[in-house]
């Protein structure tokens, strides 16, 4: 009788623990990599937060331009201070931090007890999620920005110079125990996730800071050489490539800086040639394209229910297009340019802008239903607004030299600009900003 009672009590205890574990899992669902999955759809389960309350703030020692990743009750985010941080998703408490020798402008991928990411120091890292200890590192040929002569009309016109707007590093995609990532050394790498050993590499014509998307046995990635590449997932063999527009005068409208999303046999991506593209995933032929009238498209698109959503920088608009035809469903203007990739949760698309403002748009009506401003934006933005309440960029870039461009960007960063993509998990939205703060919003 005592044994039976003990057995029943044990079963009840186990059931209670399972229920508790189930509750924790439901409270903080997992999003394992940039844009939520290897196909980069940018969609998240659970309710859409209202953005009317800050659950917590976590301050790093540098600017945050990459996107956070949520996995197993922790938020992982990189910072310009050279650290990858692991933070408790519920409380904002630091769990651990891992130091590199360069800015961590790459979004980590997390799986099987490890977090994978790249650093400006030229390494790809794997660290244990339990304690932040290094598991392995892979040394690439070195990181670098896209360079060109007289870029953006900056003086002197014939000097090779780094593009100040090349702000992201490639973020890894995980699939089948393999890590796919681009590098400033012009290569796309397939690395064994367990050991860091190279499975294959593919060399493009320029810097690869786009994040590879993986779907149907194919790896899709853009390069600053203007091509979108489709590579065999197992061997790295080229399946096809598609060339975008060119501009060899001031190199302003050239290169693929953002990442593709793949859905229903179509590859969607934006380009600095002021075009948004939809290509057939099998052979790369053009399905349709959308003219952005001189505006870059740096952000990665989000796709759900036959609609594709993306932000256009200089055009200052969020677009919602029919995913099959490219026909416009609605557009939403905002007050500053945006590199932030929209994230979908519930019926809301969330994205940020360079003036430190953050928006939630109802995808049924195209109306803004939620807003948030970073701490730095609330302190500093007012003095930089024009008569319409939009960001006046003329005051930031008055010096036509490369030094002037970086000074202007630093002044812009002081607004708490949002360049990364938000992640929504368990009714909480996580987003970092250039004021160095990771925000948890509800």
d(C-alpha 338, C-alpha 316), whole Å: 7
- The pLDDT of residue 25 is 34
Per the CB < 8 A criterion, the answer to whether 351 and 318 are in contact is yes
- The pLDDT of residue 17 is 35
| pLDDT category of residue 393 using cuts at 50, 70 and 90 | confident
Residue 23 lies in a domain: no
Question: Which of 5, 165, 152, 55 lies closest to 429, judged by CA?
Answer: 55
Residue 22 lies in a domain: no
- The pLDDT of residue 294 is 94
- The pLDDT of residue 27 is 39
- The pLDDT of residue 223 is 98
Q: What are the pLDDT digits (tens) for 362-390?
A: 999 999 999 999 999 999 999 999 999 99
CATH code for the domain in which residue 125 is found: 2.130.10.10
Average pLDDT over residues 214-236: 98
d(C-alpha 337, C-alpha 167), whole Å: 14
Indicate the number of domains in the chain: 1
Per the CB < 8 A criterion, the answer to whether 400 and 155 are in contact is yes
Q: HSE (CB half, 13 Å, CA atoms) of 116?
A: 31
pLDDT at 102 over 90: yes
pLDDT at 39 over 80: yes
Q: Which two tokens stand for residue 33?
A: 């990599």
Residue 189 lies in a domain: yes
Residue 225 lies in a domain: yes
Q: What are the pLDDT digits (tens) for 344-356?
A: 999 999 999 999 9
Per the CB < 8 A criterion, the answer to whether 40 and 344 are in contact is no
Rounded to two decimals, the pTM is: 0.92
Locate the DSSP E strands across 298-380.
302-304, 307-312, 317-322, 328-333, 343-345, 348-352, 357-362, 367-373
pLDDT at 21 over 80: no
Residue 29 lies in a domain: no
Q: What is the DSSP string of 371-419?
A: EEE-HHHHHHSGGGB-TTSSB-GGGT--S-BHHHHHHHHHHHHTT----
Contacts of 238 (CB under 8 A, 6+ apart): 202, 229, 230, 231, 232
pLDDT at 74 over 60: yes
Average pLDDT over residues 326-344: 97
- The pLDDT of residue 395 is 83
Q: Is 151 helix (H, G, I), strand (E, B) or coil?
A: helix
Domain that holds residue 255: 35-441
Residue 18 lies in a domain: no
- The pLDDT of residue 26 is 34
Q: What are the pLDDT digits (tens) for 239-295?
A: 999 999 999 889 999 999 999 999 999 999 999 999 999 999 999 999 999 999 999
d(C-alpha 374, C-alpha 390), whole Å: 16
Question: Which of 414, 404, 409, 411 lies closest to 434, judged by CA?
Answer: 414
Q: Can you say whether the dihedral through the CA atoms of 40, 304, 419, 209 is positive or negative?
A: positive
Residue 4 lies in a domain: no
CA distances from 371 to 201, 334, 377 (A): 43, 11, 13
Q: What are the pLDDT digits (tens) for 295-317?
A: 999 999 999 999 999 999 999 99
With a pLDDT cut of 70, the percent of the chain lying above it is 93
With a pLDDT cut of 90, the percent of the chain lying above it is 91
- The pLDDT of residue 353 is 98
Residue 25 lies in a domain: no
Per the CB < 8 A criterion, the answer to whether 387 and 426 are in contact is no
Q: Kindly report the average pLDDT of the chain as a whole number.
A: 93
């Amino acid at each position: 009788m005592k044994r039976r009672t003990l057995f029943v009590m044990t079963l009840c205890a186990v059931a209670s623990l399972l229920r508790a574990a189930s509750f924790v899992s439901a409270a903080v669902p997992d999003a394992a990599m940039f844009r939520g999955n290897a196909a980069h759809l940018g969609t998240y389960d659970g309710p859409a937060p209202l953005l009317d309350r800050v659950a917590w703030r976590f301050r790093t020692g540098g600017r945050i331009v990459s996107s956070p990743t949520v996995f197993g009750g922790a938020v992982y985010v990189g910072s310009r201070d050279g650290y990858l941080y692991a933070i408790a998703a519920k409380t904002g408490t630091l769990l651990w931090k891992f130091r590199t020798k360069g800015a961590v402008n790459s979004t980590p991928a997390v799986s099987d007890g490890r977090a994978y990411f790249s650093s400006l120091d030229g390494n790809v890292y794997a660290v244990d999620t339990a304690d932040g200890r290094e598991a392995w590192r892979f040394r690439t040929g070195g990181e670098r920005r896209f360079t060109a002569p007289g870029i953006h009309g900056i003086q002197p016109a014939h000097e090779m110079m780094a593009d100040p707007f090349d702000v992201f590093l490639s973020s890894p995609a995980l699939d089948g125990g393999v890590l796919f990532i681009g590098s400033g050394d012009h290569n796309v790498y397939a690395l064994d996730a367990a050991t860091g050993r190279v499975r294959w590499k593919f060399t493009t014509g320029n810097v690869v800071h786009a994040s590879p998307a993986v779907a149907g046995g194919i790896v899709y990635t853009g390069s600053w050489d203007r091509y979108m590449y489709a590579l065999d997932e197992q061997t790295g063999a080229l399946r096809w490539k598609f060339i975008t527009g060119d501009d060899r005068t001031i190199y302003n409208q050239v290169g693929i800086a953002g990442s593709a999303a793949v859905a229903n046999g179509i590859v969607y991506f934006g380009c600095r040639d002021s075009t948004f593209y939809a290509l057939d995933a099998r052979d790369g032929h053009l399905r349709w394209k959308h003219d952005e009238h001189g505006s870059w498209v740096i952000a990665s698109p989000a796709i759900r229910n036959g609609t594709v959503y993306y932000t256009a920088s200089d055009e200052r608009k969020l677009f919602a297009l029919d995913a099959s035809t490219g026909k416009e469903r609605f557009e939403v203007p905002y007050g500053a340019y945006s590199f932030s990739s929209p994230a979908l949760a519930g019926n809301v698309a969330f994205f940020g802008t360079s003036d430190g403002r953050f928006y939630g748009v109802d995808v049924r009506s195209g109306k803004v239903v939620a807003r948030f401003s970073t701490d730095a934006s609330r302190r500093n933005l007012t003095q930089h607004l024009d008569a319409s309440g939009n960001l006046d960029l003329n005051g930031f870039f008055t010096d036509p030299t490369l030094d002037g461009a970086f000074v202007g960007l630093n002044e812009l960063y002081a607004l708490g600009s949002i360049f990364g993509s938000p992640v929504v998990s368990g009714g909480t939205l996580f987003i970092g900003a250039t004021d160095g703060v990771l925000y948890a919003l509800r």
